[in-house]
């Protein structure tokens, strides 16, 4: 508490009685703790941040990603909310009706793990964490409308998760199917991806198996085209990086389906290809190990056993792999395969080619079968070389890619190529029957049409995106509202029976089996259709369900009849500005886009995209002791910084100011305690300036509005007004582009200008005091979004009662262009593009005069004399450039 120690001594010098007379309501010294407490109480009492739909102002929805209630705020949170809060304040002060809510993503694994480890009740644990973190947020002074707080684990909330599930079930958007999960054969439990990292069980190191389990899916793929196409609506508002990540994730590729007849049977095998132009080069069909055609291998075939053995081996080896966990590198295996003995007929050439099974073909992409064109596909090339399959070139490379009209493709073809690797570029078709001589681009189009006309193929757009598996074999989540009846099958829980309550207790063993399965009074129920005995679904929903629509709930958080009232949501949404971590670029942000489209189609919202503008904030990093490396703060690295400690040492305002000043919001933020000290220094300087002037203002007649004429001001005061208005213009622009760091820099410049003025309150004229007052009030209002507590305190100190947002509410200052205009300019003069001198001018010095002054300048003449003058470029108000030879 270095701040207080120093200031106690100085307090002696304050003149007693002043405060009592009400002339000076500020302390002489800045005590963050004291004023932060004072204003936090004021905001709560006054309901300063409570937003209502009844307002003449334009609504603005500022949203930060809701936190998981782990129990403690970390610096990433602090950064996230400081950004959102600065914007919220700016918008409020600029006359918007701002919705700025917060809630808790309170379902999920950690609560369950805490329960297993420490025997606590997940509900109690979660509620305690929320209570603690809410206190931390309030101590930070984030301007939330706390009346709208929500938490996913409360039945009032998850009831609507379940309701949405029922809606999607009705629409066929929620369905059940077999799907693989990670299974530890030794412990007989289900494992999450994280728990089976490296392909082994995290507890017993046993190799994890993939097991098939009946699971619920949301048909995100039903909206795949829209998820891709609607990105146009948010382009510009979302970071390019995020859009790219989503595009990659959706993974569109255009090609064709082609059917190959199987000679041995009436069966057909369908392949997906993006290169139908290479089909004459197909020398095999290659199937995934799981492909159903394998069953068609005739009994007694010599190769049947080989195939069975191979398929078995591939399955076993795949179990040991967990591509999701390893991240990057060599998940690629050596290509292996066996011939099935089946023969397929190329529908274009009529050629008979063998059917193989191989480990490099995936069952869950395309059709699970490919035509192998070794000459023009790297994987097929590698495979063909290993198994001595023929490699036939059917695309000749072009030496020129583009030719003017009248181009004869044959002339541009390099026929002498010998294949040492697959040639994957487009080119000209050769060895391709009647199609020879065509260019790939044209051939793809025409051959697809031909296949379609012949009934053995069609154009096909393939996506990488899969449906969203939402079943979790966990306790701490929203129960999936489904009942299984012997007689009626799958029966959705009727809407009137929602919510399906999560039981108070369940045995949490951590074995990964659905804990709800062991709660008899939960499982056993009656069928809503036939009233017979029935069982409930015991899986719970993925927590990404909760976060897919939570910000709509903020609009109407206590609604008992619907997830939210349409008109309330329509008033606030779509979200104007969303702020959160890049780690949610794909999953959360894709799910919530999907959810919005689904809600649109059931008539709940009138738009396609939920979020207009997205800001992905950078990580907060700190040096890792010993290594000197900057890494994201984390417990395991020991480089974490506790927000509470920082608040105690420096106050919320300084911490927030530093965070926003130290780097642009999307960059990495390197934590530096000396940086916060700098922020404190700045706040103290501003504070003491306001303090020194507050008494003068209290007895001064000069108020903003009684504007002095220019000539009444001293030159210094005129310059101050100029700086003030330039700063207002700059900060306003910066805020609109979320450039908080440069806003703060501009505030510092203004405060430096005030300091340089060196005007004493007692000796200043009324006119000059006006200029100072204007500068200080502007400074205080524009500082408030970064440091609201001290902002409020100084606003009051300047003689305004009721707070920045209260009765005499502060207005964001307006820049007066006339006042911001410089009186005198220093115009740089270049000779041949090099800076040689500067001349003084006014903004309206005519071009001719600038030109003459520049040429007459002594230093310039040193460089021009004896040279031929070529030309003189005069950019008014900017520069003069003299070109000589």
Partner RNA sequence: GCCGGAGUGGCGAAAUUGGUAUACGCACCAGACUCAAAAUCUGGCGUCCGCAAGGACAUGUCGGUUCGAGUCCGACCUCCGGCACCA
Contact set for RNA, span 835-864 (CB under 7 A): 835-836, 838, 859
Minimal distance, residue 302 CB to RNA, in Å: 26
CA distance 64 to 81: 7
Region of 141-149, 269-277, 403-411, 480-488 interacting with RNA (CB under 7 A): 269-277
Residues between 556 and 585 that touch RNA (CB under 7 A): 582
Residues 6+ apart with CB under 8 A from 375: 278, 281, 381, 391, 392, 393, 394, 395, 419, 422, 423
Determine the 3-state secondary structure of 559 from DSSP: coil
Task: CB nearer to RNA: give 522 or 671.
Answer: 671
Does residue 368 bind RNA (CB under 7 A)?
A: yes
Does residue 397 bind RNA (CB under 7 A)?
A: no
Distance, first Cα to last Cα, the chain: 67
Whether 394 and 275 have beta carbons less than 8 Å apart is answered as no
For residue 92, give both structure tokens: 């409020």
Whether 569 and 553 have beta carbons less than 8 Å apart is answered as no
Minimal distance, residue 115 CB to RNA, in Å: 31
CA distance 675 to 661: 9
Does residue 749 bind RNA (CB under 7 A)?
A: yes
Does residue 365 bind RNA (CB under 7 A)?
A: yes
Does residue 672 bind RNA (CB under 7 A)?
A: yes
Rg, Å, the chain Cα set: 35
Region of 202-210, 478-486, 813-821, 874-882 interacting with RNA (CB under 7 A): 874-882
Whether 435 and 443 have beta carbons less than 8 Å apart is answered as yes
For residue 264, give both structure tokens: 């041995």
Residues between 466 and 525 that touch RNA (CB under 7 A): none
Closest alpha carbon to 97 in 131, 65, 145, 130: 145
Task: CB nearer to RNA: give 99 or 361.
Answer: 361
Show the site string, 706-725: x = touches RNA by CB under 7 A, - = not.
--------------------
Count the site residues for RNA by CB under 7 A.
83
Minimal distance, residue 779 CB to RNA, in Å: 13
Task: CB nearer to RNA: give 115 or 753.
Answer: 753
Task: Tell the residue number behind the tokens 């009721």, with chain if given.
Answer: 802
Task: CB nearer to RNA: give 488 or 883.
Answer: 883
Q: Which of 23, 116, 213, 245 binds RNA (CB under 7 A)?
A: 245
For residue 436, give both structure tokens: 């020879």
Q: Which of 406, 455, 626, 833 binds RNA (CB under 7 A)?
A: 833
Does residue 323 bind RNA (CB under 7 A)?
A: yes
Closest alpha carbon to 374 in 355, 393, 359: 393
Residues between 249 and 268 that touch RNA (CB under 7 A): 249, 251, 253, 255
For residue 656, give both structure tokens: 């927030």
Does residue 291 bind RNA (CB under 7 A)?
A: no
Task: CB nearer to RNA: give 136 or 179.
Answer: 179
Closest alpha carbon to 777 in 711, 700, 710, 679: 700
Minimal distance, residue 265 CB to RNA, in Å: 22
Minimal distance, residue 716 CB to RNA, in Å: 15
E strands in 480-600? 482-485, 489-492, 524-526, 533-536, 540-541, 575-581
Task: CB nearer to RNA: give 211 or 685.
Answer: 685
Q: Which of 32, 675, 708, 788 binds RNA (CB under 7 A)?
A: 675
Minimal distance, residue 71 CB to RNA, in Å: 26
Secondary structure element (H or E) that encloses residue 324, with its range:
helix 323-326
> How many CB atoms are closer than 10 A to CB 175?
14
Region of 64-72, 391-399, 589-597, 747-755 interacting with RNA (CB under 7 A): 747-755
CA of residue 787 relative to chain centroid, distance:
25
Does residue 328 bind RNA (CB under 7 A)?
A: yes
Show the site string, 403-442: x = touches RNA by CB under 7 A, - = not.
----------------------------------------
Task: CB nearer to RNA: give 524 or 672.
Answer: 672
Minimal distance, residue 754 CB to RNA, in Å: 11
**Which DSSP state fits 376?**
G
Does residue 457 bind RNA (CB under 7 A)?
A: no
Show the site string, 811-830: x = touches RNA by CB under 7 A, - = not.
---------------x-x-x
Residues between 778 and 807 that touch RNA (CB under 7 A): none
Show the site string, 683-702: x = touches RNA by CB under 7 A, - = not.
--x-----------------
Minimal distance, residue 401 CB to RNA, in Å: 13
Q: Which of 58, 171, 205, 248 binds RNA (CB under 7 A)?
A: 248
Does residue 332 bind RNA (CB under 7 A)?
A: yes
Minimal distance, residue 828 CB to RNA, in Å: 3
Does residue 296 bind RNA (CB under 7 A)?
A: no
Minimal distance, residue 882 CB to RNA, in Å: 8
E strands in 582-681? 611-617, 620-623, 630-632, 669-670
Region of 43-51, 527-535, 593-601, 743-751 interacting with RNA (CB under 7 A): 743-751
Closest alpha carbon to 673 in 75, 195, 148: 75
Q: Which of 227, 288, 615, 776 binds RNA (CB under 7 A)?
A: 288
CA distance 861 to 854: 9
Q: Assign 3-class secondary structure to 137-168.
A: HHHHCCCCCHHHCEECCCHHHHHHHHHHHHHH
Q: How wide is the angle at C-alpha 445 spanned by C-alphas 443 and 450, nearest 5°?
A: 85
Q: Which of 23, 565, 745, 855 binds RNA (CB under 7 A)?
A: 745
Task: Tell the residue number behind the tokens 């507590």, with chain if given.
Answer: 789
Reported residue count of the chain is 885
Secondary structure element (H or E) that encloses residue 235, with its range:
none
Task: Tell the residue number behind the tokens 């480990």, with chain if given.
Answer: 359
Task: CB nearer to RNA: give 182 or 359.
Answer: 359
Residues between 606 and 645 that touch RNA (CB under 7 A): none
- Contacts of 573-576 with C-beta under 8 Å, sequence gap 24+, read 573/61, 573/605, 573/607, 573/610, 574/61, 574/607, 574/609, 574/610, 574/611, 574/612, 575/61, 575/62, 575/63, 575/551, 575/610, 575/611, 575/612, 576/60, 576/61, 576/62, 576/612, 576/613
Region of 31-39, 200-208, 242-250, 850-858 interacting with RNA (CB under 7 A): 242-250
Minimal distance, residue 628 CB to RNA, in Å: 12
Minimal distance, residue 573 CB to RNA, in Å: 27
Minimal distance, residue 761 CB to RNA, in Å: 17
For residue 848, give both structure tokens: 């001719």
Alpha-helical (H) ranges within 70-188 are 75-93, 109-118, 122-140, 155-170
Minimal distance, residue 492 CB to RNA, in Å: 32
Task: CB nearer to RNA: give 244 or 524.
Answer: 244
Determine the 3-state secondary structure of 492 from DSSP: strand
Minimal distance, residue 586 CB to RNA, in Å: 6
Residues between 4 and 23 that touch RNA (CB under 7 A): 6
Using CA atoms, how far residue 577 sits from 28, 88, 444, 611, 686, in Å, is: 38, 10, 43, 7, 30
Task: CB nearer to RNA: give 600 or 685.
Answer: 685
Does residue 193 bind RNA (CB under 7 A)?
A: no
Minimal distance, residue 837 CB to RNA, in Å: 8
Minimal distance, residue 829 CB to RNA, in Å: 9
Q: Which of 755, 808, 843, 846 binds RNA (CB under 7 A)?
A: 755
């Amino acid at each position: 508490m270095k701040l207080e120690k120093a200031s106690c001594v100085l307090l002696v010098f304050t003149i007693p009685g002043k405060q009592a007379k009400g002339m000076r309501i500020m302390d002489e010294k800045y005590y963050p703790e004291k004023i932060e407490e004072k204003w936090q109480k004021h905001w709560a009492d006054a309901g300063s941040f409570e937003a209502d739909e009844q307002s003449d102002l334009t609504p603005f929805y500022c949203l930060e990603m809701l936190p998981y209630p782990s129990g403690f705020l970390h610096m990433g949170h602090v950064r996230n909310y400081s950004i959102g809060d600065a914007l919220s304040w700016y918008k409020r002060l600029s006359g918007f009706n701002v919705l700025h809510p917060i809630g808790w993503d309170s379902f999920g694994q950690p609560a369950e793990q805490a329960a297993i480890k420490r025997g606590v009740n997940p509900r109690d644990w979660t509620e305690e964490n929320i209570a603690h973190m809410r206190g931390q947020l309030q101590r930070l002074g984030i301007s939330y409308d706390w009346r709208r707080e929500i938490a996913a684990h409360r039945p009032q909330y998850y009831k609507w998760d379940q309701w949405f599930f029922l809606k999607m079930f009705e629409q066929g958007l929620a369905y059940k199917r077999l799907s693989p999960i990670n299974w530890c054969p030794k412990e007989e439990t289900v494992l999450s991806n994280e728990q089976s990292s490296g392909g082994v069980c995290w507890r017993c190191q046993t190799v994890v198996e993939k097991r098939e389990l009946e699971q619920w899916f949301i048909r995100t793929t039903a909206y795949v085209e829209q998820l891709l196409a609607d990105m146009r609506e948010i382009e510009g508002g979302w970071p390019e990086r995020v859009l790219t990540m989503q595009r990659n994730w959706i993974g569109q590729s255009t090609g064709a389906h082609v059917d190959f007849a199987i000679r041995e049977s009436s069966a057909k095998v369908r392949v997906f290809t993006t290169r139908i132009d290479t089909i004459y080069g197909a020398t095999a069909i290659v199937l995934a190990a799981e492909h159903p055609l394998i069953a068609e291998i005739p009994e007694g075939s010599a190769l049947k056993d080989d195939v069975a053995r191979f398929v078995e081996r591939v399955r076993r080896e795949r179990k040991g792999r967990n591509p999701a966990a390893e991240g990057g590198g060599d998940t690629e295996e050596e290509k292996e395969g066996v011939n099935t003995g089946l023969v397929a007929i190329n529908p274009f050439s009529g050629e008979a080619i063998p059917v193989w099974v191989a480990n490099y073909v995936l069952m869950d992409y395309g059709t699970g079968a490919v035509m192998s064109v070794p000459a023009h596909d790297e994987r097929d090339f590698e495979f063909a070389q290993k198994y001595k399959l023929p490699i036939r070139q059917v695309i000749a490379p072009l030496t020129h890619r583009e030719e003017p009209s009248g181009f004869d493709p044959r002339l541009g073809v390099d026929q002498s190529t010998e294949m040492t690797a697959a040639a994957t570029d487009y080119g000209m078709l050769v060895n391709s029957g009647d199609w020879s001589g065509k260019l790939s681009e044209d051939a793809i189009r025409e051959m697809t049409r031909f296949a379609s006309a012949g009934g053995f193929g069609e154009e096909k757009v393939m996506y990488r995106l899969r449906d969203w598996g939402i079943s979790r074999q966990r306790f701490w989540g929203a129960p999936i509202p489904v009942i299984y009846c012997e007689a009626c099958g799958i029966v959705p829980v009727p809407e009137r029976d929602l919510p399906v309550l999560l039981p108070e207790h369940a045995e949490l063993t951590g074995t990964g089996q659905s804990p709800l399965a062991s709660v008899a009074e939960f499982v056993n129920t009656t069928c809503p259709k036939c009233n017979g005995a029935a069982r409930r679904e015991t899986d719970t929903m993925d927590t990404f369900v909760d976060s897919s629509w939570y910000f709509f709930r903020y609009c109407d958080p206590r609604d008992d009849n619907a997830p939210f009232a349409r008109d309330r949501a329509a008033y606030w949404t779509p979200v104007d500005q969303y702020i959160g971590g890049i780690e949610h670029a794909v999953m959360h942000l894709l799910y919530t886009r999907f959810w919005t489209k689904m809600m649109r189609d059931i008539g709940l919202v009138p738009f396609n995209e939920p979020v207009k503008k997205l800001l992905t904030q950078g990580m907060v990093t700190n040096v890792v002791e010993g290594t000197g490396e900057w890494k994201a703060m984390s417990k395991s690295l020991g480089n974490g910084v506790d927000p509470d400690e920082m608040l105690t040492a420096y106050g919320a305002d300084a911490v927030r100011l530093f965070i926003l000043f130290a780097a642009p919001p999307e960059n990495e933020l390197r934590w530096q305690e000396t940086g916060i000290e700098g922020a404190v220094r700045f706040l103290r300087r501003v504070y003491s300036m306001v303090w020194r002037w507050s008494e003068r203002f209290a007895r001064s007649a000069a108020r903003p509005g009684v504007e002095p004429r220019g000539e009444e001001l001293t030159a210094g005061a005129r310059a101050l007004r100029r700086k003030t208005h330039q700063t207002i213009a700059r900060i306003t622009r910066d805020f609109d582009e979320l450039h908080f760091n440069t806003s703060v820099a501009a505030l510092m410049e203004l405060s430096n200008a005030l300091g340089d003025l060196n005007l004493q309150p007692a000796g200043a004229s009324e006119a000059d005091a006006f200029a100072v007052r204007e500068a200080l009030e502007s400074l205080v209002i524009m500082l408030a979004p970064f440091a609201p507590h001290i902002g409020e305190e100084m606003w009051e100190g300047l003689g305004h009662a009721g707070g920045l947002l209260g009765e005499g509410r502060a207005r964001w200052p307006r820049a007066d262009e006339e006042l911001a205009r410089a009186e005198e300019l220093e115009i740089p003069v270049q000779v041949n593009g090099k800076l040689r001198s500067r001349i003084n001018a006014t903004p309206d010095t005519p071009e001719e005069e600038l030109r003459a002054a520049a040429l007459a300048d002594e230093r310039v003449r040193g460089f021009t004399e004896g040279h031929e003058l070529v030309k003189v470029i005069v950019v008014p108000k900017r520069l003069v450039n003299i070109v000589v030879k």
